[in-house]
Amino acid sequence: MTDPIESSETAAPWPRPAYSWYVVGVLLLAYTLSFVDRMILSLLVAPIRAALDISDTQVSLLIGLAFALFYTLLGLPLAWIADRHNRRNLIVAGIGFWSVMTTACGFAGSYATLFLARMGVGVGEATLSPAAFSMLSDYFPRDKLARAIAVYSIGVPLGSGIALILGSFVVQAVLAAPMVDLPFYGPIDAWRMIFVWVGAPGLLICLLMLTVREPVRRDVRRLQAAMSSAPAAPGLLAHLKRQRAALGALFLGMSLIGLVMYGVIAWVPTFFARTYGMNVADAGLWFGIIMAIGGAAGLILGGSLADRLYARGVADSHLRVMRLSILLGAPPLFAAAFMPGAPLAFVMLACAFPMLTMHGVGTVALQLITPNQYRARMTALYFFIVNLTGLGFGPMVIALLTDNLFADDGALRYSIAIVTAVAMPLAAIILTWGFKAFARELERMSAAETA
């Protein structure tokens, strides 16, 4: 068997653009499905509590800890595999595993088995993005990479939006048909069938992924030779130490943006219910549409802008686009919390999200300053820090402010505004501080690749 790293000894031509974009399309489908599978449980809290006789705290562990902890922790060893072995096959295995585990959630007969199935969803999804970003870096040259990763990243708002839109119809569907007759199985609760419906498409995407070729790993040997004289012990830890300024700005900036984004996404439907007396399902429907359309548009806009600036010689273009996303998106997000009515609040969110999602080029910035042999692991570390900060603390910080500072459920709007007003400017300052360090690391990487 040919070692994929050995195959990079020969400088291979870039794949045909049409095929490279086909790969992006397949990975986008997988990423979209992963977010639908990830969020679907949060839409079924009431029937799951009733069926398993569990508390809100137990449900919160299923939604958060069971998924997020294993998703972030196991992403690191799985990325180590992706850096050394066939990335396409790892993704296929991951999609198959998380799809089976999503379906298994529907057949869980106890809290413990549902917890284990939810862990399995997190483990499976941990295979996707580190390997996908690494593959795309070998499918596209640097001046086209941002657009490719931006299109792939559309899976985040698209999957989240689909899940929220689906959620607006879940309650009605469950109430209208409390039982479903499943062939070869018999009667089953309607809410359980939802897990089967969202898990089944993953098996089709597995087949699509088999049409994707593992790309040649580029410049591995030359980078190793060029960097071997660096004054540090070889390996990933030495790389982290060398790039601590650039990576620190990138990781901290993205973590603060994630803190706001995850917090807002978690609380916006409740914000509309408490502030304007709106039905939560209706709020989720409209917010899901904003996320799906506006988020996708923002990612494409950010990727295209970063590629154009980079092609013109702006070395820190990706960090500049991230800062621009804050400067343009944070003000309308802040203003949304103080609108006198729900329609104007939705208008402000519709203005904010296309701008805020431009920050997705941060993942591209990471690829550009990371040697090929570390890309999957660096991406996993990036997701570990950003997702743990965003998922773990974003919703919680907003809740803590509402409960402890204001002690008033109706003050949720002020908690959202405070977190936005503090975290977003701080993120912009940190990203600006990292401009020079990032440009320096990018120049060093470019010199090593052409040596």
In three-state secondary structure terms, 5 is coil
Tokens for 364, please give them.
């591209």
Tokens for 52, please give them.
């398993």
Predicted local distance difference test score (pLDDT) of residue 88: 94
Long-range contacts of 9-15 (CB under 8 A, 24+ apart): 9/221, 11/218, 12/216, 12/218, 14/139, 14/140, 14/141, 15/139, 15/213, 15/215
Return the closest-CA partner of residue 28 out of 409, 320, 296, 387: 296
Predicted local distance difference test score (pLDDT) of residue 330: 97
CA distance 325 to 352: 9
Tokens for 126, please give them.
């941990």
CA distance 48 to 64: 15
CA distance 146 to 357: 13
Which CATH number, 3.40.50.450, 1.20.1250.20, 1.20.140.10, 1.20.1270.10, labels domain 237-451? 1.20.1250.20
Predicted local distance difference test score (pLDDT) of residue 94: 94
Lowest mean pLDDT segment, chosen from 40-49, 201-210, 379-388, 440-449: 40-49
Tokens for 55, please give them.
């508390």
Q: What residues does each domain of the chain span?
A: 15-212, 237-451
Query: Does CATH place domain 15-212 in 3.40.50.300?
Result: no
214-262: per-residue pLDDT in tens?
998 876 554 444 444 444 335 778 888 888 999 999 999 999 999 999 8
In three-state secondary structure terms, 173 is helix
- One-character DSSP codes across 66-86: HHHHHHHHTHHHHHHHHHHS-
Give the single-character DSSP code of 14: P
What are the beta bridge partners of residue 189?
A: 179
In three-state secondary structure terms, 321 is helix
Predicted local distance difference test score (pLDDT) of residue 28: 92
The more confidently predicted of residues 29 and 75 is 29
Tokens for 342, please give them.
């729900």
Query: How much helix, strand and coil, in percent to the nearest 5, is found in the chain?
Result: 80, 0, 15
Percentage with pLDDT > 90 across the chain: 36
Predicted local distance difference test score (pLDDT) of residue 9: 41
The more confidently predicted of residues 103 and 179 is 103
Task: Give the list of residues 6+ apart from residue 207 with CB closer than 8 angstroms, or none.
Answer: none
User: Is residue 424 within 8 Å of residue 113, measured between CB atoms?
Assistant: no
15-212 shares its CATH topology with 237-451: yes
Decide if pLDDT at 7 tops 60.
no
State which amino acid sits at residue 374: Y
284-303: per-residue pLDDT in tens?
889 989 988 998 899 889 98
Predicted local distance difference test score (pLDDT) of residue 384: 84
The more confidently predicted of residues 92 and 283 is 92
In three-state secondary structure terms, 187 is strand
Q: CA neighbours within 13 Å on the CB side: how many for 236?
A: 14
Specify whether the backbone of 232 is left (phi greater than 0), alpha (psi in -120 to 50) or beta.
beta
Predicted local distance difference test score (pLDDT) of residue 18: 93
Place of tokens 């799906």: 292
CA distance 449 to 156: 32
Q: Which strand (E) or helix (H) includes residue 40?
A: none
Percentage with pLDDT > 70 across the chain: 88
What are the beta bridge partners of residue 182?
A: 186
Widest Cα–Cα separation across the chain: 68
CA distance 324 to 321: 5
Q: From residue 71, give the alpha-carbon distance in Å to each of 66, 91, 248.
A: 9, 14, 22
Lowest mean pLDDT segment, chosen from 65-74, 310-319, 335-344, 432-441: 65-74
Exposed / middle / buried, residue 340 (Cβ in 10 Å: 0-12, 13-18, 19+): exposed
CA distance 410 to 154: 33
pTM, rounded to two decimals: 0.76
Predicted local distance difference test score (pLDDT) of residue 149: 86
CA distance 320 to 359: 9
CA distance 334 to 324: 16
377-405: per-residue pLDDT in tens?
888 888 888 877 887 678 878 888 888 88
